[in-house]
Amino acid sequence: MFFASGYVLGALWMSKETNTPLPQQEIYDLCKIIVQSGRNYSKRHQLPCPLMYAYYQVEYLGAAHGLCSILQTLISVPGYLEASPTDAADIKRSIDYLLSLQGDEGNFPAATDEIGYQPELVHWCHGAGGTIYLMAKAYLVFKEDKYLQSCVRMADLIWNKGLLKKGPGLCHGVAGNGYTFLLMFRLTGDVKYLYRALEFYNFMNSSDFKNAARTPDNPHSLYEGLAGTACYVADLTHPNTAHFPFSDVFTL
Ligand SMILES: [Zn+2]
């Protein structure tokens, strides 16, 4: 279902970029399959979350191959929630279930087998750095303050613990976490977040970072390498339209 969800997100993005209408019925049909699959899995394993998915037998919750990106995709499809109220109810209950897992520090577990432990990873792929996009989208769609408050807590956690040594990239690097501040700047208009975004950029230029940071497995790629960092640096120059690549919650 991660692939189906990625396909839907890709279709939304292509539709926006090429200014062509979305093949609505096909996309709605795919969404229904995604929801039913999550429902079946959850029932089969008697889970408290109405929708759940597994990737290599692990019920991941984060953005890279976990529940939160699937839910973000489903609430991003124009008109789908209104057209499918039963699915919409299970999608929202799943988001609220995920919200209930936010820990004292503001982070989220990477997978269900970490529930009850202090989550360690503050990345885009696992934890607050990626979950913040789902909660931001939920805030824009449902207009409930609890989602915004969740984002504020995640952004504060990332400010305190988000300077990573795993390189400058998006997936589990400094630029990926820096993007959360650009998101929060657009969401709230608070310049504090712009300051934080710039400080993460400055950190990537520091000798501390250059000496200690690991070289990613794919040093030039979009998600791990310099291509993602380049997107971040470019976005710092126009923060009012800045967005994590393929994850613009304001327009998708
Ligand atoms: Zn990662």
Q: How far is the CA of 170 from the centre of ligand 1 (A)?
A: 8
Residue 184 binned pLDDT confidence (cut-offs 50, 70, 90): very high
pLDDT in tens, 112-160: 999 999 999 999 999 999 999 999 999 999 999 999 999 999 999 999 9
Neighbouring-strand partners of residue 58: 55
Cα separation values, 215 from 164, 166, 174, 193, Å: 12, 7, 13, 27
pLDDT at 1 over 90: no
The pLDDT of residue 252 is 85
- Local confidence band at 87 (pLDDT 50, 70, 90 cut-offs): very high
Of 171, 252, 154, 247, the C-alpha closest to 216 is: 171
Q: Would you place residue 165 in the very low, low, confident or very high pLDDT band (cuts 50, 70, 90)?
A: confident
Residues 6 or more apart in contact with residue 196 via CB below 8 angstroms: 155, 159, 178, 181
pLDDT range class, residue 249, cuts 50, 70, 90:
very high
Q: Is 126 known as a binding-site position?
A: no
Question: Residue 58, SS3?
Answer: strand
Q: 111 CA to middle of ligand 1, Å?
A: 14
Tens of pLDDT along 169-180? 999 999 999 999
| pLDDT score for 3 | 82
Burial of 83 (0-12, 13-18, 19+ CB in 10 A): middle
CA of 173 from ligand 1 middle (Å) equals: 8
Cβ partners under 8 Å of residue 68, min gap 6: 61, 62, 98, 108, 130, 131, 133, 134
Query: 17 C-alpha to center of ligand 1: Å?
Result: 26
Average pLDDT over residues 191-202: 98
pLDDT value at residue 216? 86
Residues in the chain, total: 252
Q: State yes or no: 171 annotated in a binding site.
A: yes
* Cβ contact 159:151 at 8 Å: no
Strands (E) located in the chain: none
Q: What is the DSSP string of 122-135?
A: -SSSSSHHHHHHHH
pTM: 0.96
pLDDT of residue 84: 98
User: For residue 176, how far is its CA from the centre of ligand 1 (angstroms)?
Assistant: 9
The per-residue pLDDT for range 57-82, each reduced to its tens digit, is 999 999 998 999 999 999 999 999 99
Instruction: State in Å: Cα 103 to ligand 1 middle.
Output: 20
Which percentage of the chain shows pLDDT scores above 70? 99
Phi first, then psi: what are they for 65, rounded to 5°?
-145, 45
Q: How far is the CA of 24 from the centre of ligand 1 (A)?
A: 32
Q: At 54, is the pLDDT very low, low, confident or very high (cuts 50, 70, 90)?
A: very high
| C-alpha of residue 21 to centroid of ligand 1, in Å | 33
Give the separation between CA 99 and CA 133, rounded to whole angstroms: 12
Write down the residue that tokens 């939920």 correspond to. 138
| Residue 34 amino acid letter | I
Helices 174-188 and 226-236, axial angle in degrees (round to 10): 30
6-51 per-position pLDDT tens digit: 999 999 999 999 999 999 999 999 999 999 999 999 999 999 999 9
